[in-house]
Amino acid sequence: MRRNQPVINPGATLGVLGGGQLGRMYAEAAHRLGYHVHTYSDEANSPCGQVAEREFVGAYNNIEAIREFARTVDVVTFEFENICSAAVQAIEEIVQVHPSGQVLHISQHRLREKSTLAEAGLPVTPFRPVRNAEELQIAIQELGTPSILKTASGGYDGKGQVTVPNAEAAESAWKELDEVEAILEQRIDFKCEVSYVAVRDSSGNFTGCGPIRNEHVNHILDLSIFPDPEMASLAEDARAIAQGVLEKLDVVGVMCVELFVTNDNHLLINEVAPRPHNSGHLTINACASSQFDQQVRAICGLPLGDMTPLKPAAMVNLLGDVWEQGTPNWSAALELANVSLHLYGKKEPRAGRKMGHLTAIGESSQSVVETVIQARKALQSK
């Protein structure tokens, strides 16, 4: 375990691999704490690049360009997982990366992730590897159906996975995934999904936020609520599981642990993300230290902040669909008290593309859900 890393004080330059909205909100938090930010992505004028002091643009497998970026910063983090291990290794030869390249290596591959967590005795959904036709049949026999076949690498927001309703559908499901290395997971009957946004520093200090209750539409996160009174009894278990995950992987930084709540009120790990998470955006308004503040604090060796909710909060995503009838009615949404608008600087709204989010805070979980949903509906009013 890494311990007591030297403090990287405000005034230093922080690097972020990736130029999306997570990087943008991280950069905004870093600026509030007095840091400079450089970003590297494969897209010019990216959401993060719009607010960073310097934007490097290049392919993620351009090792020389990655090294040039690394030489300009004091520490590097990342905002999405699909980065080749060679790029991270090249950075680690120059400057520290948090979470480490080893954490990225494990979490960007579903089989490695599930196997590592299962070996640690953490509660994961039952799974089997699928690397050839024989393993596919064995997996179906052992796990049964319905089940879900997922690519081992890549995929997000429901991409890279196919439901297998019965044994006869297994072969066609694998063909739909181009017969790449995959993982078969038992389909869990669950009553809801929750997440725990956890943070850990190099000395092993741990804190977090959750369980955050999440609702999805078309496999994309739609609504997050924290705290949810119905989830209060699971708070200690969720924290213990999240802490176990971060300790097993020796994470320095922020990691989101996504969990199923089974019908008998047990928690099972669905997957983990070694970065801030969509469901944690509400911490910007709800907590003294947001998930992005915590990301900066953890990787710079500063004391971790408090993520206890100051008030109940709810967040809804704003997808490109909101723009279907033209420019949204921002004024109508912001007329509602305690509603905050966060837009990501993306120029082209597309169906299913995350363009921003709305957060409401208030006196009760029920009231903030009603308010934030009302605010989103108001965007399309004329």
* Separation in Å, CA 264 to CA 51, 234, 261, 318: 46, 12, 8, 33
Query: For the purposes of burial, counting CB atoms within 10 Å of the CB of 282, is it exposed (0-12), middle (13-18) or buried (19 or more)?
Result: buried
Residue 332: CB atoms within 10 Å: 16
Percent of the chain with pLDDT over 90: 90
Cβ neighbours of 34 (radius 10 Å): 11
Average pLDDT for residues 1-6, to the nearest whole number?
A: 60
State residue 139's pLDDT score.
93
| Average pLDDT over every residue of 25-33 | 98
pLDDT grade for 157, boundaries at 50, 70 and 90: low
pLDDT score of 95 more than 90: yes
Would strands 190-200 and 206-217 be described as parallel, antiparallel, or unpaired?
antiparallel
Question: How does residue 333 score in pLDDT terms, banded at 50, 70 and 90?
Answer: very high
Lowest mean pLDDT among 81-85, 135-139, 255-259, 370-374: 81-85
Q: What percent of the chain has pLDDT over 70?
A: 98
User: What is the predicted pLDDT for the residue at 82?
Assistant: 82
